Structure 1
Amino acid sequence: MTAQASPQTTSRRSLLLQAAGLGVSVSFLGGSAFAAADGAMARRKLVVVICRGGMDGLTVSPPIGDPDYAALRGAVAVAPDQALKLDGTFGLHPALQSVHALALKGQARIAPAIASPDRARSHFEAQDVLETGAAQVYGVNTGWLNRTLEVMGPSKVEGLSVGATAPLILRGKVQAASWSPGKGVDEAARLPTLLQDLYKADPLMGPAFARGLETETMAQAAMTALNPAPAPVSTDTTAMNTSGMTPQVAAPPAVAQAMAPTAMTQDARAIAGQRQGREAARKLGATLAGFMVQDGGPRIAAISLDGWDTHAGQVGQLNTRLSYLDAVLDGLNTGLGEEWRNTVVVAATEFGRTARVNGTGGTDHGTGSTALVLGGGLRKGGLIGDWPTLRPDALFENRDVRPTLDMRGLFKGVLADHMGVDRAALETKVFPDSADAKPVSGLV
């Protein structure tokens, strides 16, 4: 269920932050839905990060100890001396330094061969299954996060998204408000993103347009990335509104001057833009955390990070995207403070990429990928799920990482053990027809 909300009527429990240069949106659900929870359970928080486009798990957590990895990946392989070591087989991409620091403390783990039940390798279908939690595409028309709140009990909790409708993962019987920008928004500024969505299925135009947009985004991030640091949070909810929660700020004068075409080369501008983008991403995570730690604030948040469809020029694109992801997670960790121990964060994608590099320095739509699981209350441990290896006979359909773990099982385990959701409701309501997806227990 969705409802239109004006900026003046949006509460601090309902927020969406959007950063054009980062491809980021944030939606909140939670708060009074869990008012009846007791003790420590009432403080538990969950953040789901959706990396849209098909994030390459073999780059996120490169299996540098797998004897077939280097040959399969060729030019896009992460070098063993650059990977941030986790164990004898796996490392993390060098851009994930904050995640690695958490892993060394036992507060971050990887599921390196995970997938939803969908096998079509279509963005539309795979994202539908990921967000609905259904066993097959278009199986249900509500999101599993919304159904989670529904089974927790009646509430007046709202979620908020910018646009005509709420993201699918939040749609359902629990009200999710939406706010659409008015005429003051520059429609022309949206055109590149709209065109990218239109052409992304085209084997020629899609990768070419994505490369062009990526370069433009990197070079201009300092000018376009949202700096979402809010005004001081008032305890008076009537003082909160959307414009106060998501301020648009110009780049600092020094950065703007440094980004001027006459002062810097294109490469230097791109580097400066990436640094500015990382700082914006970190502040995004910190701002989200700031709202979650408020009394009565949201306990569930969903973040969407775009730009993971790397058919060409993968190395540079993922250097940037993983740096932003790392910064968002670092901002969450530091911003939550003591509440980090009560929080679980799961970063997942609709599908992985092919094990083999393609002819344009990228990878194509695959199956198994990596999910990151983080939180101060995680139990220390190794891999989540089994690693099937990259042997030729182990690849799924002779091309992809073979999934050994169902995404629904991971989320079922987190919801049951961390958020206290009834296990029977998980099987029948939140993730229907999921008996074959066994809950991953013991993570917290």
Structure 2
Amino acid sequence: MTPSRRTVLAAGFGLSLHFAALPALAAADRRKLVMVICRGGLDGLSLAPPVGDPDYAALRGAFGFESTALKLDDRFALHPALASVHALARSGQARLVPAVATPDRARSHFEAQDVLESGGAVVYGTVSGWLNRAVGVLAARAPVSALSVGPTAPLVLRGPAPAASWTPGFAVDSTARLPTLLQDLYKDDPLLGPALAQGLATEDMARAAMADEAMAPTSPGGGAKAGVESARRLGQTTAGLMREAGGPRIVALSLDGFDTHANQPAQLAPRLAGLDALLDGLHEGLAEDWRDTVVVVVTEFGRTARINGTGGTDHGTASTALVLGGGLKGGGIIGDWPGLRTAALFENRDLAPTLDMRSLFKGVLADQFGLERAVLDTTVFPDSAGARLLTGLT
């Protein structure tokens, strides 16, 4: 018997697959959605530096990327590690969603991630994920399948609707969450906070040096280059699974390590390089299906506008999301930019939110899968009628 592409991919990637029974995909409907969660609170002002904002340089000082950022227009650029995303943006296949936030304002990882993934108006308001509820609505109309990538299914895909799971071995960095938790624990400690940051930076440099000198770029644990290559392969393999007949049309995966309380530049650059490689792998692996796919990159909250005393940033409010895909409609940023002047900051410390995250998610589901406003306002995102429907993205 000739092995399927899924079997070949699994054997070559060293992964374990746990697929539920997947219904056949109607050939006429190829629309797909990938949700990437950057856990830890990704700093949107570094992801997409607003280099044209007159108050940016004074707020960020040494964190500024005026000379190295990858320019998009007169106001915004991308972090230097996001070269692939920049190329997609310049070709109209990636757009920024600045100043976006969930309804939660507590700045707690656990609470913010719950609201982000449950789609509720309040913390712990529902036990299922909004993407799972969307799958349930879609499955009642036509066959659809979903996949979670990682050791455990994220809340966003948990619930009564069936979803497959895939554990991709070494490509998902299961150790990244521990430094995140430790940084959060020691962020206010004048001794342990800087010491931990210095140790993490040293470890990153050592891994990079090992990768440069000896490590094969595809070996697990082989340093910074190996991590980027693993992320690219993760994107390619995920795309390959999505392209199979009956493969998942909806995918959720997570990247850890974005909680940068100290020494942020050294910690953030390799994480963003991994994100860039993942997205590039998806783009390459989806091939012609890329035009029917939307990828949404989000985080639970942003970070403080000002740098703290340990060269990092603390838990904030609004961040920046990314929307990518081959069928995006043209335009600049999605949403509104509030500016960084002191009077415009939220509680005098954070980028102020101008767009409800649920509005972005609603728009993607409406554009990609034709879900109606009434269903989105009640079933998928309970009690969310006040969050406008942001359509016209694709």
Q: Which of the five TM-score ranges fits, normalised by the shorter chain? A: 0.7 to 0.9
**Where does residue 134 of structure 1 map in the other structure?**
120
Matched to 1:438, the amino acid is R
Alpha-carbon distance between aligned partners in 1 of 2:178 and 2:214, rounded to the nearest angstrom:
32
User: What is the CA distance between 1:255 and its match in structure 2?
Assistant: 1.9
Q: Confirm whether residue 173 of structure 1 aligns to residue 133 of structure 2.
A: no
Q: Is the alpha carbon distance of 1:372 and 1:74 closer, same or farther for their aligned partners in structure 2, counting shifts above 3 Å? A: same
- Three-state SS of the structure 2 residue aligned to 1:344 is strand
**Where does residue 255 of structure 1 map in the other structure?**
215
| Structure 2 unaligned blocks of 5 or more | none
Alpha-carbon distance between aligned partners in 2 of 1:306 and 1:26, rounded to the nearest angstrom:
21
**Where does residue 384 of structure 2 map in the other structure?**
434
Q: Confirm whether residue 88 of structure 1 aligns to residue 74 of structure 2.
A: yes
Q: Confirm whether residue 274 of structure 1 aligns to residue 251 of structure 2.
A: no
**Where does residue 412 of structure 1 map in the other structure?**
362
Q: Confirm whether residue 150 of structure 1 aligns to residue 110 of structure 2.
A: no
% identity of equivalent residues: 61
User: What is the CA distance between 1:412 and its match in structure 2?
Assistant: 0.3
Q: Is the alpha carbon distance of 1:383 and 1:29 closer, same or farther for their aligned partners in structure 2, counting shifts above 3 Å? A: farther
Q: Is the alpha carbon distance of 1:435 and 1:140 closer, same or farther for their aligned partners in structure 2, counting shifts above 3 Å? A: same
Confirm or deny: 8 A CA contact 1:26 1:161 kept in the other structure. Answer: no
Q: Which residue among 36, 45, 48 is the counterpart of 1:58?
A: 45
Alpha-carbon distance between aligned partners in 1 of 2:88 and 2:174, rounded to the nearest angstrom:
36
**Normalising to structure 2: TM-score of the pair?**
0.85
User: What is the CA distance between 1:293 and its match in structure 2?
Assistant: 1.0
- Three-state SS of the structure 1 residue aligned to 2:298 is strand
User: What is the CA distance between 1:211 and its match in structure 2?
Assistant: 5.2
- State how 1:10-409 maps to structure 2 within 5 Å: 32=23, 35=25, 39=28, 42-78=29-65, 80-154=66-140, 157=145, 159=147, 163=151, 166-176=153-163, 193-194=177-178, 197=181, 200-203=184-187, 204=189, 205=192, 208-209=195-196, 212-213=199-200, 215-216=202-203, 219-220=206-207, 255=215, 273-409=223-359
- Three-state SS of the structure 1 residue aligned to 2:253 is strand
- Three-state SS of the structure 1 residue aligned to 2:185 is coil
Confirm or deny: 8 A CA contact 1:54 1:309 kept in the other structure. Answer: yes
Matched to 2:69, the amino acid is A
Q: Which residue among 365, 375, 392 is the counterpart of 1:425?
A: 375
Cα RMSD, aligned residues only: 3.6
**What is the number of equivalent residue pairs in this alignment?**
377
Alpha-carbon distance between aligned partners in 2 of 1:107 and 1:307, rounded to the nearest angstrom:
26
Moved over 6 A (4+): 25-30, 178-181, 189-192
User: What is the CA distance between 1:441 and its match in structure 2?
Assistant: 1.1
User: What is the CA distance between 1:212 and its match in structure 2?
Assistant: 3.1
Alpha-carbon distance between aligned partners in 1 of 2:226 and 2:105, rounded to the nearest angstrom:
37
**Normalising to structure 1: TM-score of the pair?**
0.76
Confirm or deny: 8 A CA contact 2:48 2:320 kept in the other structure. Answer: yes
User: What is the CA distance between 1:200 and its match in structure 2?
Assistant: 2.8
User: What is the CA distance between 1:166 and its match in structure 2?
Assistant: 2.4
Confirm or deny: 8 A CA contact 2:176 2:256 kept in the other structure. Answer: no
Confirm or deny: 8 A CA contact 1:95 1:323 kept in the other structure. Answer: yes
Alpha-carbon distance between aligned partners in 1 of 2:284 and 2:167, rounded to the nearest angstrom:
31
| Structure 1 unaligned blocks of 5 or more | 1-10, 20-24, 224-250, 260-269
Alpha-carbon distance between aligned partners in 2 of 1:206 and 1:26, rounded to the nearest angstrom:
39
User: What is the CA distance between 1:217 and its match in structure 2?
Assistant: 5.3
Alpha-carbon distance between aligned partners in 1 of 2:92 and 2:343, rounded to the nearest angstrom:
33
Alpha-carbon distance between aligned partners in 1 of 2:32 and 2:21, rounded to the nearest angstrom:
9
Matched to 1:112, the amino acid is P
- Three-state SS of the structure 1 residue aligned to 2:382 is coil
Alpha-carbon distance between aligned partners in 2 of 1:38 and 1:180, rounded to the nearest angstrom:
27
Alpha-carbon distance between aligned partners in 1 of 2:108 and 2:228, rounded to the nearest angstrom:
29
Matched to 2:359, the amino acid is G
Q: For each residue in 1:177-236, what CA deviation from the matched residue of structure 2 results, as whole angstroms up to 9, or x when unmatched?
A: 66899xxx9xxx97885575367334335675465346435634799xxxxxxxxxxxxx
- Three-state SS of the structure 1 residue aligned to 2:98 is strand
Alpha-carbon distance between aligned partners in 1 of 2:242 and 2:212, rounded to the nearest angstrom:
28
Alpha-carbon distance between aligned partners in 1 of 2:34 and 2:19, rounded to the nearest angstrom:
9
Alpha-carbon distance between aligned partners in 2 of 1:193 and 1:108, rounded to the nearest angstrom:
28
**Where does residue 231 of structure 1 map in the other structure?**
none
Q: Is the alpha carbon distance of 1:30 and 1:301 closer, same or farther for their aligned partners in structure 2, counting shifts above 3 Å? A: farther
User: What is the CA distance between 1:62 and its match in structure 2?
Assistant: 0.5
Alpha-carbon distance between aligned partners in 1 of 2:315 and 2:160, rounded to the nearest angstrom:
33
User: What is the CA distance between 1:63 and its match in structure 2?
Assistant: 0.7
Confirm or deny: 8 A CA contact 1:29 1:158 kept in the other structure. Answer: no
Alpha-carbon distance between aligned partners in 1 of 2:21 and 2:202, rounded to the nearest angstrom:
37
Alpha-carbon distance between aligned partners in 2 of 1:90 and 1:190, rounded to the nearest angstrom:
32
